[in-house]
């Protein structure tokens, strides 16, 4: 009997122990569940920094400096990280070149002067250096340069920075509420706010709304506790984009003649024309040849009457030495930009198509700097920047001189001139733009160059080459699509090359072998399909008046939109 009672006591203790373990595990699970909602962020005396409703305090590279007048200074490193990827500091001269979305500014560690978009003004505070760190007076330049609003809330030692080009919504609270650390009732209370207080509305999470209080506190309240949500600021669109895919045609003409008179012409489906209006002058210090002064006004009027945007081409005319001299001198670069902006304003064009070719490969970075400095000057005017580049992995002066990734980040569009695969200097006959070559290079843009597809415009040639092989020598001449039949003997048989997606003709005449890879509606249609397949921004054609007839543009429109 006693033995049985002992066994029963032992069983009871086991059950009790198991129950205790279960309770302990439940409590432990509860602690693990609830505890993260009560974590207190330790800023160790740092100024709290909120950028577009994100708490970045512990991610700042340097401490914020606030002077006795409550002026806020941010380090150059943090400005580069959060606002200005391409800010440039010259340690020898003390010059700092800032580049925001719509402004470019020049300031110096030794002066209170600042130049913003070519206009000089005075700051109350100059940039300063503390412990080998350069600090900029951000509370002064925040809106002027970076188009952001900065508020320093002294009571909570918090800086709130909001981009003025982003949408913002506000709301009112219906009653006294507690702002929670996380969207859960069992979460730490961060702050209490009074009835009818206005808060910044950020987003909804299930039954909770994320908000920012006037003291800078960011947290959650119940959705039902908010009312009167309204938009106080909309997203800004800086440029007037074309409707649908870009369908551009370059309209080249010599600087010695008037602009083409297109009166009465229509280009079905085209939405952008790029006339050769502006170019660098040989030996100049930033002066620009104005090719629009002879008939340009009438050309622009024709284009706008037909709802075509005008992206004025700005060419360096392949003047390698002059280009290098300008690009490597900041003052000459800025002179060139100022002159270009003046012309853009004078003629009210819709954008600029920069076509610099034949440049030194060592000038790649300063060419990027030129575009970095040009882009905000155009954007603040609502003008589009497109930049022409060649295929990657080519020669030093025609291919390696472009930083395609930086260009695509800076410009609104990067135009891949998908020609000449085999050009005038080639020692071997070949196609101007074979399908496989074009596709391979599109993949390089998307892959190794890391360019977004919605930034890429595919350039397509409206010409081909007639090659002549004789006595071991290879020569060629350009043949426009409209002139193809005038350059081939009658009754020539053309064979379709499914790899190149082109017809090919070869024949003998007077001891020489002639070869032609034909560009026509079918081959061009295949290239348009590539642009569609890879979801590119659109297409462009070099150049107007090389096409076979007016019906060509209707064919292109149908191919692009189907």
**In this structure, what token pair is assigned to residue 251?**
């309209």
pLDDT higher than threshold 90 for residue 370: yes
pLDDT higher than threshold 70 for residue 273: yes
pLDDT higher than threshold 50 for residue 439: yes
Taking Cα atoms as reference points, which of 290, 288, 292 lies closest to residue 260?
292
b/e code 471-497 from CB counts within 10 Å (16+ = b): eeebebebbbbeebeeebeeeeeeeeb
Most confident of the following: 252-256, 490-494, 530-534: 530-534
b/e code 13-24 from CB counts within 10 Å (16+ = b): eeeeeeeeeeee
**In this structure, what token pair is assigned to residue 504?**
């090919």
Contact 163, 148 (CB under 8 A): yes
Contact 153, 72 (CB under 8 A): no
pLDDT more than 90, % of the chain: 90
Give the span between the Cα atoms of 274 and 63, in whole angstroms: 48
Dihedral, CA atoms, 146, 383, 419, 487, nearest 10 degrees? -170
pLDDT higher than threshold 80 for residue 287: yes
Counting Cα atoms < 13 Å in the Cβ hemisphere of 534 gives: 27
Tens of pLDDT along 48-84?
999 999 999 999 999 999 999 999 999 999 999 999 9
Q: Return the pLDDT at 136.
A: 98
Taking Cα atoms as reference points, which of 251, 250, 244, 308 lies closest to residue 560?
244
| Distances, alpha carbon 427 to alpha carbons 113, 467, 475, in Å | 57, 11, 8
> Can you identify the CATH homologous superfamily of domain 246-462+519-561?
Glycosidases (3.20.20.80)
* Rg of the Cα atoms in the chain: 32
The two beta strands, 113-116 and 104-108, are antiparallel
Dihedral, CA atoms, 54, 57, 63, 64, nearest 10 degrees? 40
Report CA 510 to chain centroid distance, whole Å: 54
What is the CATH number assigned to the segment(s) 167-233? Answer: 2.30.30.40
- pLDDT range class, residue 448, cuts 50, 70, 90: very high
**In this structure, what token pair is assigned to residue 58?**
């512990």
Give the span between the Cα atoms of 475 and 12, in whole angstroms: 103
Report domain extents, the chain. Answer: 48-162, 167-233, 246-462+519-561
Q: Return the pLDDT at 35.
A: 47
- pLDDT range class, residue 32, cuts 50, 70, 90: very low
pLDDT higher than threshold 50 for residue 529: yes
Tens of pLDDT along 506-517?
999 999 999 999
Domains 48-162 and 167-233 share a fold: no
Give the span between the Cα atoms of 117 and 560, in whole angstroms: 39
> Can you identify the CATH homologous superfamily of domain 48-162?
Copper amine oxidase-like, N-terminal domain (3.30.457.10)
**In this structure, what token pair is assigned to residue 136?**
């900029």
DSSP letter at 332? H
Number of Cβ within 10 Å of residue 9's Cβ equals: 10
- pLDDT range class, residue 21, cuts 50, 70, 90: low
Q: Return the pLDDT at 210.
A: 98
pLDDT higher than threshold 60 for residue 3: no
Task: State whether residue 121 is helix, strand or coil.
Answer: strand
Number of Cβ within 10 Å of residue 290's Cβ equals: 18
What's phi and psi for 216, nearest 5 deg? 95, -5
Report CA 528 to chain centroid distance, whole Å: 23
Place of tokens 């909570």: 156
Sign of CA dihedral 456, 457, 459, 460: positive
- What average pLDDT does this structure show over 368-387? 98
What's the pTM? 0.91
Taking Cα atoms as reference points, which of 216, 272, 210, 199 lies closest to residue 241?
272
């Amino acid at each position: 009997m006693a033995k049985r009672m002992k066994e029963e006591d032992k069983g009871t203790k086991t059950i009790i122990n198991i129950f205790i373990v279960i309770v302990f595990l439940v409590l432990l699970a509860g602690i693990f569940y609830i505890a993260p909602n009560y974590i207190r962020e330790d800023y160790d005396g740092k100024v709290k920094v909120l950028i577009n409703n994100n708490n970045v305090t512990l991610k700042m590279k340097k401490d914020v400096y606030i002077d006795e007048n409550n002026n806020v200074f941010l380090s150059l490193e943090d400005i580069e990280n959060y606002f200005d990827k391409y800010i440039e500091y010259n340690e020898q001269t003390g010059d700092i070149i800032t580049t925001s979305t719509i402004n470019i500014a020049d300031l110096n560690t030794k002066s209170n002067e600042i130049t913003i978009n070519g206009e000089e003004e005075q700051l109350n505070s100059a940039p300063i250096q503390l412990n080998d760190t350069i600090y900029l007076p951000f509370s002064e330049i925040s809106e002027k340069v970076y188009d952001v609003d900065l508020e320093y809330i002294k009571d909570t030692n918090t800086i709130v920075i909001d981009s003025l080009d982003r949408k913002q919504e506000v709301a009112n609270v219906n009653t006294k509420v507690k702002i929670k650390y996380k969207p859960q009732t069992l979460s730490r209370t961060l702050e209490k706010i009074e009835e009818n207080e206005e808060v910044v509305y950020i987003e909804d999470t299930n039954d909770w709304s994320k908000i920012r209080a006037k003291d800078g506190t960011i947290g959650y309240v119940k959705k039902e506790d908010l009312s009167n949500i309204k938009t106080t600021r909309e997203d800004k669109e800086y440029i007037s984009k074309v409707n649908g895919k870009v369908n551009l045609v370059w309209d080249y003409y010599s600087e010695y003649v008037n602009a083409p008179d297109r009166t009465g012409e229509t280009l079905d489906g085209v939405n952008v024309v790029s006339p050769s209006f502006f170019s660098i002058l040989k030996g100049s210090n930033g002066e620009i040849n104005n090719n629009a002064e002879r008939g340009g006004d009438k050309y622009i009027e024709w284009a706008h009457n037909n709802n075509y945007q005008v992206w004025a081409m700005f060419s360096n005319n392949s003047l390698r030495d002059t280009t290098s001299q300008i690009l490597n001198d900041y003052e000459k670069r800025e002179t060139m930009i100022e002159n270009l902006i003046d012309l853009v304003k004078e003629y009210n064009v819709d954008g600029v198509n920069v076509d610099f070719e034949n440049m030194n490969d060592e000038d790649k970075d300063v060419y990027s700097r030129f575009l970095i400095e040009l882009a905000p000057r155009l954007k603040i005017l609502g003008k589009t920047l497109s930049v022409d580049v060649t295929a990657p992995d080519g020669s030093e002066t025609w291919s390696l001189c472009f930083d395609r990734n930086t260009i695509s980040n800076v410009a609104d569009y990067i135009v891949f001139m998908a020609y000449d695969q085999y050009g005038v200097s080639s020692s071997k006959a070949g196609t101007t733009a074979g399908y496989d070559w074009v596709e391979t290079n599109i993949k390089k843009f998307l892959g190794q160059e890391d360019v977004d597809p919605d930034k890429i415009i595919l350039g397509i040639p409206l010409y081909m080459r007639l090659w002549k092989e004789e006595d071991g020598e290879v020569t060629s001449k350009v043949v426009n699509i409209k002139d193809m039949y005038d350059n081939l003997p009658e009754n020539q048989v053309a064979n379709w090359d499914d790899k190149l997606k082109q017809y090919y003709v070869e024949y003998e005449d007077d001891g020489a072998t002639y070869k032609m890879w034909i560009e026509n509606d079918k081959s061009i249609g295949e290239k348009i399909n590539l642009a569609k397949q890879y979801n590119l921004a659109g297409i462009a054609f070099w150049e107007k008046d090389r096409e076979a007839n007016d019906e060509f543009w209707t064919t292109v429109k149908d191919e692009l939109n189907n």
